[in-house]
């Protein structure tokens, strides 16, 4: 990176650092005049961010690092700052004498690369076996072999021994180990060892070995073909193993072929016209489909058209041997006329590949947060969420399903955290606050925990999305589409209400006034009225599927659910009060008087009664 680029980066990122500008200028080779009025930042994490991402070729002096470390409670910051000195004695001191976390000490020793010092660390009693394994790997192939020839002095688990054997990168050595220990090695570790040999003839022999499971053969075939970027290898094995391959295995291999050949998968089935996306064209969407299957591992790290198969360590099927998890992540989707087909195609492909939904699977939907353009829009969304979150957990699942048991761990209700943060005054939410500052305050509510039902964690990074994590997993395209319409509809409603609020009363249409009144009156409504009002604000077109799902699933929760779900919503129970964040809707520049609220309530009740009579 050029000096002027670094200077620009520093001006943009660093506001205050506790080093004199002259010292800083000297350290980075700038003139003091060039630094200008850059004030040095007390928040060490901004410096570490630059060290990690922007200025890898530069270093800090040990003296300045000591001063910065005194200001930091974060051991990871200490790790990066100490390494940034590139001072061997300073780094050794931190490994030998300080209470820095053991794994960070290992990082520093490996970073330094002094083999005598690494040997010293290996012999230390304070280091765990897993730490020693990392250090031993850093010593190189011959040292590893020597160590493994006499490990009587150390306890080392089989999986750690396998890590060391793979690290030798010695094909013959690895093959000999497989031959001697094959019966004691788990399938997953065996496949890793086979691939680590990098011997094509040996891998081919294993693919044809009857003792190797079909699911593992698919992984070996995939890796062999992808390493050589040659799809013909797969075609060849499809012929040779034709009698062993079932239809699901053939589908998986076809998907891998399309990835290597950069082909789009085109489904011949016609799109179901009833499955219609209704969100605005400018709203962006991303979805993550979690599933479990026998051949899931072969689909990991594979492009399925524009979708990507990924490993998900949280997905494990302990009931079925050999089955593992797969998370398929969409590209950025928009309502462009192709979105429905894309979702239907991927769901169909996963079913044909043998993927299934188990209780642990979730269905996550990201809505682009840039659709909300003002602080008022974000306030409106939080208010809508306060009044609808308990419904979302129920009607976002397929008819006849209750929220999975892991929901309250992986998708804890956001509004309960919002309530606590407001009561404890951990955050400030003010409608007059700058939009970016308001968004940061919202992000603080989660305290870096992304396992929240409506997750705002991505507001502070490049993804810039609001993630809805509460739905169960599904391979039903209709359910995905309806949930996109529901969650996207809530975001759209928040922005629409802001536009209406910004108008003078004389400028608003009758429909806009009705929508605004319905929005304001939400906390006064009972459960049924509140559900209908939320759907009226968020959903264009038929609302029946959502109401049906809510009624059926709510009854199932009452019958078969445990207390944990309802306990999470004890504050709600159909009467979310307009306290705290709610007050911002009722006060401020466009304050709503008590008389107006009473009148609005009467009008809304009349509207709801009229709609009920029309349905009958």
State pLDDT tens for residues 230-289: 999 999 999 999 999 999 999 999 999 999 998 876 654 566 777 899 999 999 999 999
Position with higher pLDDT, 566 vs 479: 479
Sorted by where each begins, the domain ranges of the chain are 3-166, 180-260, 362-615
- Pick the range with the lowest mean pLDDT from 62-71, 140-149, 263-272, 418-427: 263-272
pLDDT given at position 240: 95
**Per-residue pLDDT averaged across 415-436, rounded?**
79
Q: What is the mean pLDDT of the chain?
A: 82
Expressed in angstroms, the distance from the first to the final Cα of the chain is 70
Mind listing the pLDDT tens digit for each residue in 304-361?
999 999 988 777 665 566 788 999 999 999 999 999 999 999 999 999 999 999 988 9
Give the pLDDT confidence score for residue 275 in this predicted structure: 83
pLDDT of 75 > 60? The answer is: yes
Q: Which tens digit of pLDDT belongs to each residue from 116-163?
A: 999 999 988 888 888 999 999 999 999 999 999 886 656 788 899 999
pLDDT at 434: 86
How does pLDDT run across 172-219, given as a tens digit for each residue? 999 999 999 998 898 889 999 999 999 999 999 999 999 999 999 999
Residue 489: predicted pLDDT: 97
Of 100-114, 188-202, 429-443, where does the model show the most confidence? 188-202
Distance CA 234, CA 256 (A): 8
- Amino acid 416: pLDDT: 82
Mean pLDDT within 503-508: 89
Predicted pLDDT of residue 274 = 75
Of all residues in the chain, what percent carry a pLDDT higher than 70?
Answer: 79
Is residue 494 predicted with pLDDT exceeding 70? yes
Lowest mean pLDDT among 32-46, 397-411, 583-597: 32-46
Q: Per-residue confidence at 582, pLDDT binned at 50, 70, 90?
A: very low
Residue matched to tokens 């750690």 = 160
Answer whether 371's CB lies under 8 Å from 495's CB. yes
- Contact partners, residue 438, CB within 8 Å, separation at least 6: 375, 378, 379, 429, 430
Which of 98-112, 181-195, 388-402, 417-431 comes out lowest in average pLDDT? Answer: 417-431
Q: In 353-427, where does DSSP find H-type helix?
A: 375-386, 389-395, 407-410, 414-423
Q: Residue 323's closest CA among 346, 354, 301? A: 354
Task: Identify the weakest region by mean pLDDT among 98-102, 239-243, 580-584.
Answer: 580-584
What pLDDT score was predicted for residue 318? 56
For the sheet containing 324-329, what is the strand order? Answer: 302-304, 307-310, 324-329, 285-293, 363-368, 465-468, 454-455
Most confident of 33-47, 362-376, 565-579: 362-376
Which pLDDT score, from 0 to 100, does residue 74 have? 76
Q: Residue 35: pLDDT above 70? A: no
Percent of the chain at pLDDT above 90?
52
pLDDT exceeds 80 at position 384: yes
Q: Mean pLDDT highest for which of 9-18, 32-41, 99-108? A: 99-108
Mean pLDDT computed over 363-386: 94
**pLDDT at res. 41:** 33
- Read off the pLDDT band of 609 (50, 70, 90): low
Section 35-41 average pLDDT: 33
Longest dimension (CA), the chain: 88
Helix-then-strand count for the chain, H and E: 31, 7
pLDDT for 65 equals 77
Is the pLDDT higher at 436 or at 258? 258
Q: Quick check: 47 and 17 in contact, CB under 8 A?
A: yes
Which residues are CB-neighbours of 451 under 8 A, at least 6 positions away? Answer: 409, 410, 411, 412, 469
């Amino acid at each position: 990176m050029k000096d002027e680029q670094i200077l620009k980066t520093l001006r943009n990122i660093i506001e205050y650092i506790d080093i004199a500008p002259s010292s800083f200028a000297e350290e980075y080779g700038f003139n003091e005049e060039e630094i200008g009025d850059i004030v040095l930042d007390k928040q060490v994490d901004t410096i570490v961010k630059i060290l990690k991402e922007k200025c890898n070729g530069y270093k800090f002096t040990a003296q300045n690092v000591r001063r910065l470390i005194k200001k930091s409670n974060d051991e990871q910051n200490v790790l990066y700052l100490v390494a940034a000195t590139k001072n061997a004695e300073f780094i050794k001191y931190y490994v030998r004498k300080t209470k820095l976390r053991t794994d960070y000490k290992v990082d520093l020793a490996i970073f330094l690369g002094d083999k005598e010092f690494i040997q010293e660390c290996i012999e230390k009693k304070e280091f765990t076996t897993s730490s020693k394994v990392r250090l031993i790997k850093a010593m190189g192939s011959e040292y590893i072999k020597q160590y493994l020839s006499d490990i009587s002095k150390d306890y080392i688990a089989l999986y750690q021994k396998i890590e060391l054997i793979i690290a030798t990168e010695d094909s013959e050595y690895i093959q000999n180990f497989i031959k001697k220990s094959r019966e004691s090695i788990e399938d997953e570790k065996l496949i890793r060892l086979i691939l680590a040999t990098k011997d094509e003839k040996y891998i081919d022999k294993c693919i044809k070995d009857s003792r190797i499971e079909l699911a593992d053969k698919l992984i070996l075939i995939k890796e062999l073909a992808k390493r050589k970027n040659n799809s013909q290898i797969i075609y060849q094995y499809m012929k040779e193993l034709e009698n062993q391959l079932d239809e699901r295995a053939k589908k998986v291999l076809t998907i891998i072929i399309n990835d290597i050949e950069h082909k789009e998968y085109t489904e011949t089935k016609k799109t179901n016209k009833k499955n219609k996306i209704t969100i605005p064209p400018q709203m962006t969407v991303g979805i993550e489909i979690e599933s479990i299957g026998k051949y899931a591992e072969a689909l990991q790290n594979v492009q399925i058209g524009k979708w990507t198969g990924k490993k998900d360590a949280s997905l494990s099927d302990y009931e079925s041997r050999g089955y593992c998890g797969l998370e398929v992540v969409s590209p950025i989707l928009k309502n462009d006329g192709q979105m429905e087909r894309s979702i239907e195609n991927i769901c169909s492909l996963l079913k044909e590949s043998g993927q299934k939904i188990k209780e642990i699977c979730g269905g996550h939907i990201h809505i682009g947060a840039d659709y909300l353009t003002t602080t008022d829009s974000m306030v409106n969304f939080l208010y809508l969420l306060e009044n609808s979150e308990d419904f979302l957990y129920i009607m976002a699942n397929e008819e006849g399903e209750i929220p999975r048991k892991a929901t309250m761990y992986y998708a804890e209700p956001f509004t309960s955290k919002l309530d606590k943060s407001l009561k404890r005054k951990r955050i400030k939410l003010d409608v007059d606050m700058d939009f970016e500052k308001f968004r940061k305050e919202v992000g603080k509510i989660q305290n870096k925990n992304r396992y929240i039902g409506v997750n705002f964690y991505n507001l502070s990074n490049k993804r810039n999305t609001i993630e809805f994590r509460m739905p169960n997993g599904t391979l039903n395209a209709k359910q995905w589409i309806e949930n996109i319409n529901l969650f996207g509809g809530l975001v759209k409603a928040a922005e629409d209400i802001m536009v209406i609020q910004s108008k003078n009363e004389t400028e608003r249409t009758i429909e806009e006034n009705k929508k605004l009144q319905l929005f304001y009156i939400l906390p006064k409504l009972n459960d049924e009225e509140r559900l209908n009002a939320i759907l009226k604000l968020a959903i264009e077109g038929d609302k029946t599927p959502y109401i049906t799902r809510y009624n059926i699933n709510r009854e199932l929760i009452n019958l078969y659910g445990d207390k944990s779900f309802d306990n999470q919503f004890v504050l709600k129970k159909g009467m979310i009060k307009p306290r705290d964040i709610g007050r911002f809707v009722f006060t401020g520049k466009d304050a709503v008087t008590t008389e107006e609220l009473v009148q609005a309530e009467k009008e809304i009740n009349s509207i709801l009664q009229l709609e009920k009579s029309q349905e009958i």
